[in-house]
Amino acid sequence: MKLAGVELRWVELQMRRPVGTAAGTHRDRPLALVRVVTESAQGWGECGALADGTLVDPPIGAVWTKLAGDAVARLFRATRARGGHLPEASRIATLFAGVPVDRMAAAALEMAVLDAELRSDGISLARRLNWAGALDAGAAGGAGKGAGLRVRAGAMVGIPPDREPRSLVDSVDEQVSRGFSRVRVKIEPGWDVRPLATVRREHPDLELQADANGAYRLGSQGIDDAGRLAALDDLALVCVEQPLPPGDLAAHAILAGRIATPICLDESLGTNRRLADAIRYGACSVACLKPSRLGGVFATRLAQESCRASGVDAFVGGFFESGLGRSANAALATLPGFTLPGDLSAPADYLSADPFAYPVVEGGRVEVHDAPGIAPEPDPAMLLACSDAARTVWVPYTP
């Protein structure tokens, strides 16, 4: 595909309600969007970085600076080397280094180029990912032919502002009433065993996960002592996610030998090499794989293949994406290595507005986009209303 230019667009969105976690509270959701324009199609990409970043991920401002700086220049250089033709989406990540800000910039550019490729070829992302054979109809996805491709979707509930277990149960009740069979609950030291036990009493059959965002410490002897998490073993949780700081795989392996609840890693898994180390050390039996953090769709496909080969359960994690990013994640969830429901609830559940359409989640399942591209084109009026005009940049390609 011959490149005409690249547009970068900063979009200001807000959360419907604050989402509390052990790492902080999410209130705003700015997005950095990339639009790649070619002679045959245009494609959209989304940066997953959050407003303030995370323990291991850069804030969106840093990724925006990278995109507006040398990221587009790298894409242009690679295009010139190909006589004006864009490099294939699967090669975009090779243009960047392995540091977190580069991986997130690469993921956004890769998504835009991939979307353009898919539209030009007249195929959906789910079909492209499963090119070699029929879509898997396994436990997590349940994708198949007939009434459309559908995958199971999980919901997430934050720490309630009033820190009352009853408020948490009310939030979980709402998600269960909408058909979600898996709910991920945020915890932190002092807000863990009691609220989770309250939820479990109300929902004995719910696939319940706890997410600690690295808030505990091994052997601290304080309220944040990870040894206290052994009290979760009686609650039959699917897993406790990222209990310890992300840099210490050895400590996670030790903790895995001390508690019966399966350990899931999230922030620890920034690269496929890191995932391989975690599996080799026995640091996790569940993996939360986030495409933006790993460097894009193709890096995530490799990661789920590693999990599948090693017998490690996996699910697609989310960064409060718009309908564009969520649609990419839903397509990834059709792959057989994703054995657990992903973070695929509708953006309308947490965003006050969304320029990109996303299907309604019905019965705890979401229909995967199966038309050409990753997601439908954005709504022009809504996109314009949410865009920061001062940070909408068109960069024409010059040979």
pLDDT in tens, 251-283: 999 999 999 999 999 999 999 999 999 999 999
Average pLDDT estimate for 153-162: 94
Find how far residue 351's CA is from the centre of its chain.
15
Percent of the chain at pLDDT > 90 equals 89
Q: Is the pLDDT of residue 324 over 80?
A: yes
Question: Does pLDDT of 140 surpass 80?
Answer: no
Closest CA to 244 of 50, 140, 52, 228: 228
Nearest CA-CA partner of 92 in 41, 53, 34: 34
- Residue 17 confidence (pLDDT): 84
Q: How far apart are CA 355 and CA 373, in angstroms?
A: 16
Can you give the pLDDT at residue 143?
A: 40
Kindly indicate the confidence band of residue 247, based on its pLDDT and cuts at 50, 70 and 90.
very high
- pLDDT tens-digit profile of 173-200? 999 999 998 999 999 999 999 999 999 9
pLDDT of residue 399 exceeding 50, the answer is yes
Q: Reply yes or no on whether the pLDDT at 84 is more than 50.
A: yes
Q: Would you state the pLDDT for residue 26?
A: 83
Q: How far is CA 11 from the centre of its chain?
A: 19
For every residue of 102-153, DSSP letters joined together read: HHHHHHHHHHHHHHHHHHHHT-BHHHHHTTTSSPP--TTT---SSS--EEEE
- Please report, in angstroms and rounded to a whole number, the separation of the first and last CA atoms in the chain: 14
- How far apart CA 272 and CA 287 sit, in angstroms, is 12
Q: How many helices (H) and strands (E) does the chain have?
A: 12, 13
Domains recognised in the chain with CATH numbers: 3-122+378-396 (3.30.390.10), 127-367 (3.20.20.120)
- Which structure tokens are listed for 158? 């934050």
Find out whether 313 and 307 touch, Cβ atoms under 8 Å: yes
Q: Does the pLDDT value for residue 241 go beyond 60? A: yes
* pLDDT at residue 211 tops 80: yes
pLDDT at residue 134 greater than cutoff 60: no
Please give the pLDDT value at position 145.
36
The pLDDT value given to residue 226: 97
- Out of 2, 66, 145, 290, the active site residue is 290
Active site residue 186: yes
Alpha carbons 275 and 261: distance in angstroms, whole number: 20
- Predicted confidence at residue 139, as pLDDT, reads 35
pLDDT in tens, 226-235: 999 999 999 9
Q: Which amino acid, residue 222?
A: G
Q: Tokens in use for 98? A: 């392995």
Asked whether the predicted pLDDT for residue 38 surpasses 80, the reply is yes
For the chain, give the mean pLDDT: 93
* pLDDT value at 135 more than 90: no
Q: Which of 2, 66, 145, 186 is catalytic?
A: 186
pLDDT for the residue numbered 55 = 86
**Quick one: pLDDT band at residue 357, thresholds 50, 70, 90?**
very high
Cα separation values, 398 from 80, 95, 305, Å: 8, 19, 39
Model confidence at 138, pLDDT cuts 50, 70, 90, reads: very low
Over range 304-325, report the average pLDDT: 97
Structure tokens at 340: 């657990």
Do β-strands 365-367 and 150-157 pair in parallel, antiparallel, or remain unpaired? antiparallel
Residue range 49-65, pLDDT digits in tens? 999 998 899 999 999 99
145 among known catalytic residues: no
- Looking at the predicted structure, is the pLDDT value of residue 44 above 60? yes
Confidence class of residue 320 from pLDDT cuts 50, 70 and 90? very high
pLDDT of residue 141: 44
4: part of which helix (H) or strand (E)?
A: strand 3-21
